[in-house]
Structure 1
Amino acid sequence: MKYITKNKKNNKQPRTAGEKKIKTMDPALLQVRPAMQESAGFEATLAFSDMPVHQLLKQNIQNKGYRYPTEIQERAIPALLKGADIIGIAATGTGKTGAFLIPFIEQLLHNKNRTGLVVVPTRELAQQVAEEFKALTTGMKFRAACFIGGTNVNADIARAGAKNHLIIATPGRLLDLVNRKALHLNAIEVLILDEFDRMLDMGFINDVTTIASLTRARRQTLLFSATINASQQTLIRQLVQDPLTINVSSGKSASSTVEQNVLEVAPNENKMEVLFNLLSGDSFEKVMLFAETKRTVDNINKQLARRGVRSDVIHGNKSQHYRTKAIQQFKTGHTRVLIATDVASRGLDVQNVTHVINYQLPQTMEAYIHRIGRTGRAGKKGIAYTFIN
């Protein structure tokens, strides 16, 4: 971990009332975070073309630009094809979505009546899983429905009545459709809980247990996440029977592909000025910036806009249409800085994010790991800065 101390003598940036009440992780925890280390890395023992999956699926994988599986994929896919229950722990950006979609699609190719359910904590992650399924099933005539909050519920009711091979949903909207009797889960055979630790942390524990109890035909259960929490073991044991646990990462540390830096802001410094000077560097081409409150996110965006920085925001007060458009603008390069609360710390897969900046410390080490995991993805190197007052 690199520590960088600034010595500029600017006016101190006042905190908002909301910021004073924020509980954050102990900054001392960052002192034991390792700086980027060169490692031997994982070398796949076989290519996707050598895997025992349908030729059309292989072609779609190749069209996505994938030649070799990641470690979580190489270890999980064969076991999932055999019907095993799995707990998969792997860092963000290591291909967890492909690890559960590829074997499920292969199962569908052998049994078109197979049905699956993917439950995720955020709308953005749900949309991402749906997009990946669509790409991997090109030419197969399989249908998936994505149900998330912030969209038209009547349209969802209509989609729920169709024949869907895979349902992807956030817990709230999923149970809303179930309660309206528009959707029935009794035929679901494969249950996938992606970022399951985050769902439980967000207060979805009762929703998760309800959803699991409704999947009465369930034959296979998959739990995937980048972090693991010992306090959730009791529920995990209720969800999966004799699971195969695959630990690609410890679930307690950040990816070694991310160089981590702490930026100390002195009492006499203007924090916003320090941020602007940092963003002025030529290498800051595509940046995700995190803050704890919606108010702070909006304030940072306004101040950066005044300085001519192309930025936008996503947080819980923004409509789903706005959030989707903001992410698309960021992906295509129309926006250089995307400022967000932790709504974007998981499941947002944007290629070539050069930097992650924690303008405010997150509340937990798990949140920190997921935030900086937006860069350094798919084996590429990334850089993270964390401001400490």
Structure 2
Amino acid sequence: MNYRKKINTRRPQPNKRAASTLSPHVLLRHAEIAGGTPASYVSEQSYADMDLHPALKSNLLKKGYKKPTEIQEKTIENLVHGHNMIGVASTGTGKTGAFLIPIVQQLLTTDNTTYLIVVPTRELALQVREEFDELSRGLRFSATCFIGGTSVGKDLVKARKKSHLIVGTPGRLIDMINQRALSLKGITGLVLDEFDRMLDMGFVNDVKTIVSLMHSRKQTMLFSATVKPSQEALIRGLVENPIKITASSGAESSNNVKQSMIKIRDGENKFDVLYNLLREDSFKKVILFAETKRTVDKINKQLIKTGINSDVIHGNKSQNYRSKAIQSFKSGKIRVLVATDVASRGIDVDNVTHVINYQIPQTLDSYIHRIGRTGRAGKTGMAYTFIN
């Protein structure tokens, strides 16, 4: 690709619409109205009933997937037929499968098809890549992942190889484009996943640039937990004549998550309260959120001193460190993962029993996505929020 000037690579600043931390009353009220997709939702059809390629059905069965979730049931057929779409559903309801299953189907049945998936965080990019590899196992489709915190040199080598699917975060994708290592001209399909989070993180201009460079784009899918009225004009500029599917309101949390507030009384030590909670046998796999990297590191050191196996992920940790910490959490090597909001999206870990908000998040959306790390795939979970 020939450019007269480089695309602006100045790193975006987070959206500062909500400058102050939520009051406990807002969260308490939210706990009262929590709704979302009922835990009892059961699809009327199975994947076996869908008009999907036998190889894809086989891989779904190998993963233990028998019935689609609500968002999948409402979107897969439309996406397989090439429609543009806006899909809105709460976190943990199967949005990744809702676009990956149609993508694998298209790759199996349509020649000269390639896709780009843009996501806000490194962890989500790796999760999407892993899910694609499993759904396309044995089908000889190649996928490439471009994320920050990894070797640019290695990414330049990867960019030379032909891929059926590219997954990446906006910043690293722009870096690859600026270095003329990555061309988007021949890519036919685009997925913008966790779009609301990309807006919150300040990636709107990067996304617009990426979309403008996709001259062969035939299909666009946008998935988000929330779509606000103020965002609709922007979305219309990115997705032409979309079908809009709402499986459950992103403004609500799942009925699968029981929410409670823990009041820290005057003179009471917050960490002592946390430690006493974690001593209970039911706290088997816990994600603990704090607002700052310094606080996350401090809590982790205190937990380790008390003999609790824990680790951290936040923006100052290398991607290799973060990946190892998540893998240790998934495997059960550590019981507590302490994190900033970098973990509130894109970490899909089975059987997280509890989420603890050690500090109140700054926005309602952050709260929703934090507690959405538990109570996933129809299972129940607990969310505790400490208040002073």
Equivalent-residue separation in structure 1 for 2:331 and 2:268 (angstroms): 34
Report the AA paired with residue 383 of structure 1: M
The number of equivalent residue pairs is 368
SS of 1:33's equivalent? helix
Q: Does 1:300 align with 2:299?
A: yes
The DSSP-based 3-state class of the residue aligned with 1:24 is coil
1:293-324 CA-to-partner distances (Å, cap 9, x unmatched) read 00000000011111111010000000100000
SS of structure 2 residue aligned to 1:374: coil
- The question of whether the paired residues in 1 share the 8 Å contact of 2:39 and 2:255 is answered with no
238-247 or 55-64, larger mean C-alpha shift: 238-247
Offset of residue 43 of structure 1: 1.9
Q: Which runs of 5 or more residues in structure 2 are unaligned?
A: 1-18
Using the alignment, how far apart are the partners of 1:39 and 1:58 within structure 2?
Answer: 26
The whole-number CA distance in structure 2 between the counterparts of 1:324 and 1:212 is 29
Distance of 2:251 and 2:153 partners within structure 1: 41
Residue 73 (1) aligns with residue 49 (2): no
Contact 1:288 1:338 in 2 (8 A): yes
Residue 28 of structure 1 aligns to which amino acid in structure 2?
H
Indicate the residue corresponding to 1:28 in structure 2: 25
Task: Return the alpha-carbon distance in structure 2 between the equivalents of residues 230 and 261 of structure 1.
Answer: 30
Map 1:155-170 → 2, pairs under 5 A: 155-170=154-169
RMSD: 1.3
- The CA distance in 2 between the partners of 1:304 and 1:131, in whole Å, is 31
Shift of 1:92: 1.4
Give ranges in structure 1 of 5+ residues lacking alignment. 1-21
Aligned mates of 1:260, 1:360 — CA distance in 2: 15
Q: Displacement, 1:39?
A: 4.6
Return the letter of the residue paired with 1:220: Q
Residue number in structure 2 paired with 1:354 = 353
Can you list the C-alpha shifts for 1:233-252, whole angstroms capped at 9, x where unaligned? 22101011221111111111
Distance 2:39 2:301 in 1: 43
Q: Equivalent pairs: percent with the same residue?
A: 60
Say whether the 8 Å CA contact 1:227–1:251 is kept in structure 2.
yes
The match for 1:121 is 120
Q: Following TM superposition, by how much is the alpha carbon of 1:40 offset from its aligned partner in structure 2, in angstroms? A: 7.1
- Deviation of 1:116 (Å): 0.4
Aligned to 1:134: 133
- Using the alignment, how far apart are the partners of 1:259 and 1:228 within structure 2? 24
Q: Residue type matched to 1:123 in 2?
A: R
Q: How does 1:49-198 map to 2 (within 5 A)?
A: 49-198=48-197
Residue of structure 2 equivalent to 1:43: 42
Query: CA–CA distance in 1 between the matches of 2:233 and 2:24?
Result: 30
**Which has the larger displacement, 324-333 or 30-39?**
30-39
Q: What is the Cα deviation at residue 229 of structure 1?
A: 2.7
Shift of 1:267: 2.1
Opposite residue 229 of structure 1, the aligned amino acid is: K
Counterpart in the other structure of 1:290: 289
Distance of 1:305 and 1:232 partners within structure 2? 43
Are 1:228 and 1:252, in contact at CA under 8 Å, matched by a contact in 2?
A: no
State the TM-score, normalizing by the size of structure 1.
0.92
In structure 1, distance between residues paired with 2:363 and 2:230: 14
Shift in alpha-carbon separation, 1:383–1:177, aligned structure 2, 3 A: same
SS at structure 2 position matched to 1:45 = coil
CA distance, structure 1, for counterparts of residue 145 and residue 22 of structure 2: 34
Give SS of 2:92's match: coil
Deviations for 1:252-294, whole angstroms, at most 9, x for unmatched residues?
Answer: 1111110000111112110010110111111000000000000
SS for the counterpart of 2:288 is: strand
Does the Cα contact within 8 Å between 2:39 and 2:256 map onto a contact in 1? no
- Show the counterpart of 1:363: 362
One-letter identity of the residue aligned with 1:335:
I
Alpha-carbon contact 1:193-1:223 (below 8 Å) kept: yes
Q: Bigger shift: 132-141 or 26-35?
A: 26-35
CA deviations on 1:63-110 (whole Å, 9 max, x unpaired) are 111000000000000010111111111111111111001111111111
Question: How far apart in 2 are the matches of 1:271 and 1:138?
Answer: 47
Q: Which moved more, 1:54-63 or 1:84-93?
A: 84-93
Give the Cα–Cα distance (whole angstroms) in 2 for the partners of residues 298 and 363 of structure 1: 19
Equivalent position SS for 2:149: coil
1:11 maps to what in 2?
Answer: none
1:232 shift after superposition: 1.6
- Write out per-residue CA displacement over residues 162-213 of structure 1, whole angstroms, 9 at most, x where no aligned residue: 1100000000100100000000001111110000110011010100100010
> Is 1:269 paired with 2:268?
yes
Contact 2:38/2:254 (8 A) holds in 1 = no
| Residue 30 (structure 1) shift | 1.4
- Give the TM-score taking structure 2 as reference length: 0.93
| Aligned counterparts of 1:320 and 1:209: Cα–Cα separation in 2 | 26
Paired letter, 2:30:
R
User: Which has the larger displacement, 340-349 or 243-252?
Assistant: 243-252
Query: Amino acid of the residue matched to residue 116 of structure 1?
Result: Y
Counterpart Cα distance in 2 of 1:59 and 1:257: 29
Q: Is the 8 Å Cα contact of residues 89 and 250 (structure 1) preserved in structure 2? A: yes
What's the secondary structure of 1:313's corresponding residue? strand
Kept in 2, the 8 Å contact 1:311–1:337? The answer is: yes
